[in-house]
Amino acid sequence: MPAIVQLQQLTKSYPLGEETLPVLKGVSLRIERGDYVAVMGPSGSGKSTLLNLLGLLDVPDSGDYLLAGENVSHLDDDALAYHRNVQIGFIFQSFNLFQQFDVLGNISVPMMYAGVRRGEARDRAAHLAGLVGLGHRLHHRPRQLSGGEMQRTAIARALGNSPPLLLADEPTGNLDEKTGNEIMSLFDQLVAAGQTMILVTHNPAYQGRVNRTLHMRDGNLLT
How confident is the prediction along the chain (223 residues), in pLDDT tens digits per residue?
789 999 999 999 999 888 999 999 999 999 999 999 999 999 889 999 999 999 999 999 999 999 999 999 989 999 999 999 999 999 998 999 999 999 999 999 999 999 999 999 999 999 999 999 999 999 999 999 999 999 999 999 999 999 999 999 999 999 999 999 999 999 999 999 999 999 999 899 999 999 999 999 999 998 6
**Per-domain residue ranges for the chain?**
34-56+76-222
Cα–Cα distance between 28 and 11 in angstroms, integer?
Answer: 10
DSSP assignment, residue 76?
A: -
Residue 212: the pLDDT is 94
Query: Of 65, 64, 6, which is closest to residue 35 (Cα–Cα)?
Result: 6
Give pLDDT, residue 81.
Answer: 93
Cβ-in-10-Å burial (0-12, 13-18, 19+) of 4 comes to buried
Classify burial at 77, counting beta carbons within 10 Å of its beta carbon; exposed 0-12, middle 13-18, buried 19 or more.
exposed
Alpha-carbon distance of 177 to 179, in angstroms, equals 6
pLDDT value at position 79? 94
pLDDT of 223: 64
- Strands 19-31, 88-92: pairing is unpaired
Distance in angstroms (rounded) separating the CA atoms of residues 100 and 85: 21
Identify the pLDDT of residue 189.
94
At residue 2, the pLDDT reads 87
Amino acid letter for position 69: G
Residue 2: Cβ within 10 Å count: 13
In CATH, which of 3.40.50.2300, 3.50.4.10, 3.40.50.720, 3.40.50.300 is domain 34-56+76-222? 3.40.50.300
Instruction: Give the integer Cα–Cα distance in Å for 81 and 215.
Output: 29
Question: What confidence score (pLDDT) does residue 49 get?
Answer: 93
